[in-house]
A = this chain, B = another copy of it.
């Protein structure tokens, strides 16, 4: 569990969660809390950590021999290479279930903003659960495996979109929604950051497909060029390299549009959107 969780990574999901919280729990609200980051994010940090635990679980299981069979992740040998398949499966199961425990155990309910504080935390944990299930990560991965079994020309851009909305965007969506909910956001504002997250989730995956064919394994910390090797349907294959780049830019612009009502308090999330398509790994 520690080996994979602490192997590094970009921490985009937890960061998106904290920045989404910042949009609603504004400077004015927090006056007295400014002394430390720990104090500033105490209502949301446990959920941010849970998101990374869940994401790490999905990487450990996706890398297994019966799934994507990868031996390099975050620049290190994958969990099952080091500890064996059995322990890797159990480490993932334990990270997943502990994520729910962690968010509940370490979130001080009075520090949550808005009305119905305990209900807000229940909402967050329920959404975390949904994001991994059959209409979340796991469903996206099943569809991904099914499409890999087909000739790549039979896979449409709609199939890819469905896969990535569930496999990648679902967890980013709950990351942004959770931060907003714990920061005291209204339902309609939560919906706006969710749409933002869906767009950057799709952009993230388009950027991943671009990086897979333009960056080295060393830069990526995982096996590069793998998509072409296994004849996988990707945005690059369907749209061409330039077409994919334009698609990523379009999604990022649309994402930022969702935040047009907010001023500088949303600059953090806007920066995440830019980072996602300009990153080199």
Contact = CB atoms under 8 A, between A and B. Distances in A.
A93 B101 CA distance: 16
Given A89-B61, A93-B61, A138-B93, A100 B84 contact: no
Identical copies of this chain, number: 2
Contacts of A86: 64, 66-67, 145
Given A96-B96, A97-B96, A105-B126, A89 B67 contact: yes
Nearest to A106: B126
Interface in A91-110: 91-94, 96-102, 104-105, 109
Contacts of A133: 94, 97-98, 101
A79 interface: no
A1 interface: yes
Contacts of A137: 93, 97
Nearest to A146: B87
> Chain A: interface residue count, which band?
35 or more
A118 B137 CA distance: 27
Contact of A1 (B1, B57, B134): B134
A236 to B, nearest CB: 24
A130 B66 contact: no
Contact of A92 (B93, B104, B119, B121): B93
Interface of A: 1, 54, 57-58, 61, 64, 66-67, 84-87, 89-94, 96-102, 104-105, 109, 116, 118-119, 121-123, 125-134, 136-139, 141-142, 145
5 contacts: A61-B89, A93-B93, A94-B138, A97-B133, A102-B129
